[in-house]
Structure 1
Amino acid sequence: MSTSTNEKRSRLDPPIPATYFGNCDVKQMVVAFIKEVVGNDGFTCALEGISEALNRVKDEGVLNGAERWVWDMNEFMEGRISILGSPRFEVYSIDFGCGRPKKVDISSIDGEEAFSLNESRDIHGGVEID
């Protein structure tokens, strides 16, 4: 049985109005040791971490701890490089009724230690790196 959009929005605290148009995505961090993920039980390890993150959202709410998100992420990412997006998301094929996007940027990239990957808007098989 599918859940209607209004039912999904009312699960947020505070609820999102039915007139809202757009995305409401929240990142969750799953941390695991490389040796666990690439080991024989790697799939199970990854699945357990994802399950724990989903249960946190369900139990504590989508916005719980939001005041610390930037601080926690910056602390965790110290000395690391991030890649956001994927050419597989096909962001240039999305049309909300006003035509294909002319340019897609990932606004959550902050600093010099991150870059984004998207498929090319005009070149089949091409990749945009920002």
Structure 2
Amino acid sequence: MICASVRATRPLALACALLWPAIALAEPTAAQRTVLDGYVAAARTGEPGFAATAERGRAFFFAQHGGGKPDTPACTACHTADLKGPGRAKAGKPIEPMAASVAPGRYTDPAEVEKWFGRNCKDVLGRACSAQEKADSLAFLLSQ
């Protein structure tokens, strides 16, 4: 447990106690971890030792790609920069928040996650996302 190691001072213990709910929410569920592990395993077939990072996923999510549809040059075109808030598809359909901390049921069904990666990567990139891009993006979204 993270807070168990913070007993040295009263201010640190208090800060940890106040922050612990937010820290706990960022931890993926077993089902989410299984989906992420599947993408990491796929990425390792092409790159042994690959490890997904939220930092690369964040950069990918916020990058302007422009290889796909002109009105969706980045993931944020529909999902917005506020991952804890709703987005809106170009057709007007509402999109639930992307952050796993506010949408704990997201990213638990491998087929559903793959379906949306397939559709969204084509729209934004004009191609399929690589296993590495999927793993990094999912690591980022699960950290939010």
Of the two, which has the highest radius of gyration? 1
The two structures share one fold, judged by TM-score above 0.5? no
* TM tier, smaller: under 0.3
TM-score by length of 1: 0.27
Choose between structure 1 and 2: higher helix proportion. Answer: 2
Please identify which structure carries the higher strand content.
1
TM-score under structure 2 length normalisation? 0.26
Tell which has more relative contact order, 1 or 2 (C-alpha 8 A, sep 6+): 2
